Structure 1
Amino acid sequence: MNFKILILITLLKLGFSTELIAQNQIDYDDNLNQASELYVTDKKIPESILLKLVPENYDEFDKYYRTTSPDHKLGNTDFFYETTQMIFNEVISKNNSDFYLSSLKLASFADGEYAENFIHNLELIIEMDEQKFCKSINGKEYSNQNPIKYYSELKNCE
Protein backbone atom coordinates (compact mmCIF):
# COMPACT_ATOMS: atom_id res chain seq x y z
CA MET A 1 0.00 0.00 0.00
CA ASN A 2 1.22 3.47 -0.82
CA PHE A 3 2.67 5.24 2.24
CA LYS A 4 0.61 8.42 1.58
CA ILE A 5 -2.61 6.41 1.44
CA LEU A 6 -1.70 4.66 4.69
CA ILE A 7 -1.11 8.02 6.40
CA LEU A 8 -4.39 9.38 5.03
CA ILE A 9 -6.33 6.35 6.29
CA THR A 10 -4.68 6.65 9.71
CA LEU A 11 -5.54 10.35 9.94
CA LEU A 12 -9.13 9.70 8.91
CA LYS A 13 -9.45 7.01 11.58
CA LEU A 14 -7.99 9.33 14.23
CA GLY A 15 -10.41 12.07 13.24
CA PHE A 16 -13.30 9.65 13.40
CA SER A 17 -12.16 8.41 16.82
CA THR A 18 -11.94 11.98 18.10
CA GLU A 19 -15.43 12.63 16.76
CA LEU A 20 -16.77 9.53 18.51
CA ILE A 21 -15.16 10.51 21.81
CA ALA A 22 -16.63 14.01 21.55
CA GLN A 23 -20.07 12.57 20.72
CA ASN A 24 -19.86 10.18 23.69
CA GLN A 25 -19.07 13.11 25.98
CA ILE A 26 -22.07 15.04 24.64
CA ASP A 27 -24.27 11.95 25.07
CA TYR A 28 -23.07 11.52 28.66
CA ASP A 29 -23.70 15.19 29.44
CA ASP A 30 -27.19 14.98 27.94
CA ASN A 31 -27.98 11.83 29.90
CA LEU A 32 -26.63 13.34 33.14
CA ASN A 33 -28.76 16.44 32.61
CA GLN A 34 -31.83 14.34 31.85
CA ALA A 35 -31.31 12.22 34.97
CA SER A 36 -30.78 15.28 37.14
CA GLU A 37 -33.95 16.93 35.83
CA LEU A 38 -35.97 13.83 36.62
CA TYR A 39 -34.33 13.61 40.04
CA VAL A 40 -35.06 17.21 41.07
CA THR A 41 -38.69 16.89 39.93
CA ASP A 42 -39.07 13.67 41.97
CA LYS A 43 -39.77 11.60 38.88
CA LYS A 44 -38.61 8.03 38.46
CA ILE A 45 -35.37 7.76 36.51
CA PRO A 46 -35.88 5.08 33.83
CA GLU A 47 -33.47 2.14 33.77
CA SER A 48 -32.09 3.21 30.39
CA ILE A 49 -31.03 6.60 31.77
CA LEU A 50 -29.78 5.11 35.03
CA LEU A 51 -27.59 2.66 33.12
CA LYS A 52 -26.08 5.49 31.07
CA LEU A 53 -25.14 7.33 34.28
CA VAL A 54 -22.41 4.76 34.85
CA PRO A 55 -19.27 6.49 33.61
CA GLU A 56 -17.11 4.94 30.90
CA ASN A 57 -13.99 6.84 32.00
CA TYR A 58 -12.61 9.24 34.58
CA ASP A 59 -13.75 12.31 32.65
CA GLU A 60 -17.34 11.14 32.80
CA PHE A 61 -16.96 10.12 36.44
CA ASP A 62 -15.61 13.57 37.23
CA LYS A 63 -18.72 15.14 35.69
CA TYR A 64 -20.93 12.79 37.67
CA TYR A 65 -19.13 13.37 40.96
CA ARG A 66 -19.01 17.15 40.42
CA THR A 67 -22.75 17.14 41.05
CA THR A 68 -21.81 17.00 44.76
CA SER A 69 -19.93 20.30 44.56
CA PRO A 70 -21.56 23.18 46.47
CA ASP A 71 -21.44 25.39 43.37
CA HIS A 72 -23.24 22.80 41.20
CA LYS A 73 -27.02 23.06 40.74
CA LEU A 74 -27.31 19.64 42.43
CA GLY A 75 -24.79 20.44 45.14
CA ASN A 76 -27.38 20.69 47.89
CA THR A 77 -28.97 17.35 46.92
CA ASP A 78 -27.98 13.72 47.30
CA PHE A 79 -28.22 13.10 43.56
CA PHE A 80 -24.82 11.40 43.23
CA TYR A 81 -25.23 9.24 46.32
CA GLU A 82 -28.84 8.27 45.67
CA THR A 83 -28.39 7.48 41.98
CA THR A 84 -25.26 5.42 42.57
CA GLN A 85 -27.16 3.48 45.22
CA MET A 86 -30.04 3.00 42.78
CA ILE A 87 -27.59 1.47 40.30
CA PHE A 88 -26.13 -0.89 42.90
CA ASN A 89 -29.61 -1.80 44.20
CA GLU A 90 -30.68 -2.92 40.75
CA VAL A 91 -28.25 -5.81 41.23
CA ILE A 92 -28.32 -6.28 45.00
CA SER A 93 -32.05 -5.95 45.67
CA LYS A 94 -33.67 -6.60 42.31
CA ASN A 95 -31.15 -9.07 40.86
CA ASN A 96 -31.34 -7.12 37.58
CA SER A 97 -28.64 -8.66 35.40
CA ASP A 98 -28.74 -5.66 33.03
CA PHE A 99 -26.97 -3.68 35.75
CA TYR A 100 -24.42 -6.29 36.81
CA LEU A 101 -21.42 -5.21 34.70
CA SER A 102 -22.34 -1.55 35.11
CA SER A 103 -22.31 -1.94 38.90
CA LEU A 104 -18.85 -3.49 38.77
CA LYS A 105 -17.64 -0.70 36.53
CA LEU A 106 -19.11 1.89 38.89
CA ALA A 107 -17.44 0.20 41.87
CA SER A 108 -14.09 0.45 40.06
CA PHE A 109 -14.24 4.22 40.59
CA ALA A 110 -14.26 3.80 44.40
CA ASP A 111 -12.21 6.57 45.96
CA GLY A 112 -12.49 9.28 48.58
CA GLU A 113 -15.57 9.91 50.66
CA TYR A 114 -17.84 7.55 48.71
CA ALA A 115 -15.32 4.65 48.53
CA GLU A 116 -16.60 2.89 51.62
CA ASN A 117 -20.15 2.74 50.24
CA PHE A 118 -18.98 1.63 46.78
CA ILE A 119 -16.83 -1.13 48.30
CA HIS A 120 -19.64 -2.25 50.61
CA ASN A 121 -21.94 -2.61 47.60
CA LEU A 122 -19.24 -4.42 45.64
CA GLU A 123 -18.80 -6.89 48.51
CA LEU A 124 -22.56 -7.55 48.53
CA ILE A 125 -22.53 -8.19 44.80
CA ILE A 126 -19.57 -10.55 45.10
CA GLU A 127 -21.21 -12.43 48.00
CA MET A 128 -24.26 -13.07 45.82
CA ASP A 129 -22.18 -15.14 43.38
CA GLU A 130 -18.37 -15.23 43.52
CA GLN A 131 -18.07 -17.27 40.34
CA LYS A 132 -20.19 -14.79 38.40
CA PHE A 133 -18.00 -11.97 39.69
CA CYS A 134 -14.82 -13.74 38.59
CA LYS A 135 -16.24 -14.61 35.16
CA SER A 136 -17.65 -11.13 34.65
CA ILE A 137 -14.44 -9.21 35.24
CA ASN A 138 -12.35 -11.43 33.01
CA GLY A 139 -10.88 -9.24 30.26
CA LYS A 140 -12.54 -6.03 31.44
CA GLU A 141 -10.33 -2.93 31.50
CA TYR A 142 -11.45 -2.07 35.02
CA SER A 143 -10.36 -5.46 36.37
CA ASN A 144 -6.91 -3.97 36.97
CA GLN A 145 -8.30 -1.11 39.07
CA ASN A 146 -8.85 -1.30 42.78
CA PRO A 147 -11.07 -2.35 44.44
CA ILE A 148 -11.95 -4.79 41.60
CA LYS A 149 -8.34 -5.95 41.36
CA TYR A 150 -8.11 -6.44 45.12
CA TYR A 151 -11.24 -8.61 45.26
CA SER A 152 -10.21 -10.48 42.13
CA GLU A 153 -6.98 -11.48 43.84
CA LEU A 154 -8.73 -12.15 47.17
CA LYS A 155 -11.23 -14.49 45.50
CA ASN A 156 -8.51 -16.11 43.35
CA CYS A 157 -10.20 -15.17 40.10
CA GLU A 158 -8.30 -16.29 37.04
Structure 2
Amino acid sequence: MEQRFLRLCRTRDGEIDVCTLVAGGTYEARYATFLRAVLGLDWWGEYLGVVLDFFLNRAAEIGKEALEEGGEKLAARFVEMHRNKAVDPRWRAWYVGRVAAGQKQRMEKLERERQQRQLQQQRGGGCASASAMQPQQQQVP
Protein backbone atom coordinates (compact mmCIF):
# COMPACT_ATOMS: atom_id res chain seq x y z
CA MET A 1 0.00 0.00 0.00
CA GLU A 2 2.76 2.37 0.93
CA GLN A 3 4.62 1.59 -2.29
CA ARG A 4 1.57 2.76 -4.22
CA PHE A 5 1.55 5.98 -2.19
CA LEU A 6 5.24 6.54 -2.92
CA ARG A 7 4.67 5.85 -6.62
CA LEU A 8 1.88 8.43 -6.59
CA CYS A 9 4.21 10.95 -4.92
CA ARG A 10 6.76 10.46 -7.73
CA THR A 11 4.19 10.83 -10.51
CA ARG A 12 2.55 13.98 -9.19
CA ASP A 13 3.29 17.30 -10.88
CA GLY A 14 6.50 18.62 -9.40
CA GLU A 15 7.16 15.26 -7.73
CA ILE A 16 6.60 15.25 -3.99
CA ASP A 17 9.91 14.90 -2.15
CA VAL A 18 9.31 12.09 0.32
CA CYS A 19 12.49 12.91 2.29
CA THR A 20 11.16 16.43 2.84
CA LEU A 21 7.84 15.01 4.00
CA VAL A 22 9.58 12.73 6.50
CA ALA A 23 12.01 15.40 7.71
CA GLY A 24 9.23 17.95 8.00
CA GLY A 25 7.03 15.59 10.00
CA THR A 26 4.18 15.61 7.46
CA TYR A 27 4.72 12.17 5.95
CA GLU A 28 2.29 10.35 8.25
CA ALA A 29 -0.43 12.93 7.70
CA ARG A 30 -0.08 12.78 3.90
CA TYR A 31 -0.01 9.00 3.93
CA ALA A 32 -3.06 8.89 6.22
CA THR A 33 -4.92 11.19 3.81
CA PHE A 34 -4.04 8.83 0.97
CA LEU A 35 -5.23 5.79 2.95
CA ARG A 36 -8.52 7.46 3.85
CA ALA A 37 -9.04 8.40 0.21
CA VAL A 38 -8.43 4.79 -0.89
CA LEU A 39 -10.88 3.42 1.65
CA GLY A 40 -13.47 5.98 0.53
CA LEU A 41 -13.21 5.17 -3.18
CA ASP A 42 -16.42 4.05 -4.90
CA TRP A 43 -14.34 1.65 -7.00
CA TRP A 44 -11.16 0.25 -5.42
CA GLY A 45 -9.50 -0.85 -8.66
CA GLU A 46 -5.83 -1.67 -8.00
CA TYR A 47 -6.47 -1.38 -4.24
CA LEU A 48 -9.17 -4.09 -4.18
CA GLY A 49 -6.80 -6.79 -2.88
CA VAL A 50 -5.56 -4.61 -0.04
CA VAL A 51 -9.06 -3.55 0.99
CA LEU A 52 -10.40 -7.11 0.83
CA ASP A 53 -7.44 -8.35 2.88
CA PHE A 54 -8.22 -5.64 5.43
CA PHE A 55 -11.88 -6.59 5.76
CA LEU A 56 -11.63 -10.36 5.41
CA ASN A 57 -8.25 -11.59 6.61
CA ARG A 58 -7.59 -8.96 9.23
CA ALA A 59 -11.12 -8.54 10.59
CA ALA A 60 -10.09 -9.76 14.04
CA GLU A 61 -7.36 -7.09 14.15
CA ILE A 62 -9.81 -4.38 13.10
CA GLY A 63 -12.11 -5.20 15.97
CA LYS A 64 -15.84 -5.71 16.17
CA GLU A 65 -16.57 -2.17 17.34
CA ALA A 66 -14.85 -0.51 14.35
CA LEU A 67 -16.47 -2.94 11.92
CA GLU A 68 -19.94 -2.34 13.35
CA GLU A 69 -19.60 1.43 13.70
CA GLY A 70 -17.85 1.94 10.36
CA GLY A 71 -17.29 5.51 9.25
CA GLU A 72 -14.46 7.41 10.92
CA LYS A 73 -13.66 4.65 13.41
CA LEU A 74 -13.19 2.13 10.59
CA ALA A 75 -11.12 4.61 8.55
CA ALA A 76 -8.93 5.28 11.60
CA ARG A 77 -8.27 1.53 11.99
CA PHE A 78 -7.46 1.22 8.28
CA VAL A 79 -4.93 4.06 8.59
CA GLU A 80 -3.46 2.67 11.81
CA MET A 81 -3.06 -0.82 10.39
CA HIS A 82 -1.35 0.39 7.21
CA ARG A 83 0.85 3.16 8.54
CA ASN A 84 4.60 2.97 8.39
CA LYS A 85 5.74 2.29 11.94
CA ALA A 86 9.31 3.30 11.07
CA VAL A 87 8.37 6.99 11.19
CA ASP A 88 7.56 6.63 14.91
CA PRO A 89 10.72 7.22 17.02
CA ARG A 90 9.45 4.87 19.76
CA TRP A 91 8.92 2.07 17.26
CA ARG A 92 12.38 2.63 15.77
CA ALA A 93 13.97 2.44 19.23
CA TRP A 94 12.07 -0.78 19.96
CA TYR A 95 13.04 -2.26 16.58
CA VAL A 96 16.73 -1.35 16.94
CA GLY A 97 16.70 -3.01 20.38
CA ARG A 98 15.04 -6.10 18.93
CA VAL A 99 17.57 -6.36 16.12
CA ALA A 100 20.46 -5.89 18.56
CA ALA A 101 19.06 -8.59 20.85
CA GLY A 102 18.71 -10.95 17.88
CA GLN A 103 22.29 -10.26 16.81
CA LYS A 104 23.50 -10.87 20.35
CA GLN A 105 21.67 -14.20 20.46
CA ARG A 106 23.15 -15.23 17.09
CA MET A 107 26.65 -14.29 18.23
CA GLU A 108 26.22 -16.23 21.49
CA LYS A 109 24.99 -19.26 19.54
CA LEU A 110 27.94 -19.06 17.15
CA GLU A 111 30.34 -18.80 20.10
CA ARG A 112 28.77 -21.86 21.78
CA GLU A 113 29.05 -23.82 18.52
CA ARG A 114 32.68 -22.74 18.12
CA GLN A 115 33.47 -23.85 21.67
CA GLN A 116 31.75 -27.20 21.09
CA ARG A 117 33.75 -27.80 17.90
CA GLN A 118 36.96 -26.86 19.69
CA LEU A 119 36.14 -29.24 22.56
CA GLN A 120 35.36 -32.05 20.12
CA GLN A 121 38.63 -31.45 18.30
CA GLN A 122 40.53 -31.57 21.58
CA ARG A 123 38.86 -34.81 22.61
CA GLY A 124 38.88 -36.65 19.30
CA GLY A 125 41.81 -34.91 17.70
CA GLY A 126 44.12 -35.57 20.64
CA CYS A 127 43.97 -39.33 20.11
CA ALA A 128 44.41 -39.06 16.39
CA SER A 129 47.34 -36.73 16.65
CA ALA A 130 49.02 -38.87 19.30
CA SER A 131 48.84 -41.97 17.12
CA ALA A 132 50.00 -40.01 14.11
CA MET A 133 53.09 -38.88 15.99
CA GLN A 134 54.16 -42.41 16.97
CA PRO A 135 56.73 -43.74 14.53
CA GLN A 136 55.60 -46.76 12.67
CA GLN A 137 57.84 -49.76 12.94
CA GLN A 138 59.09 -51.19 9.74
CA GLN A 139 59.27 -54.90 9.46
CA VAL A 140 62.66 -56.31 8.70
CA PRO A 141 62.61 -59.25 6.28
- Rg (Cα) greater in structure: 2
TM-score over 0.5 (shorter chain): no
Of structures 1 and 2, the one with the larger relative CO (CA 8 A, separation 6+) is: 2
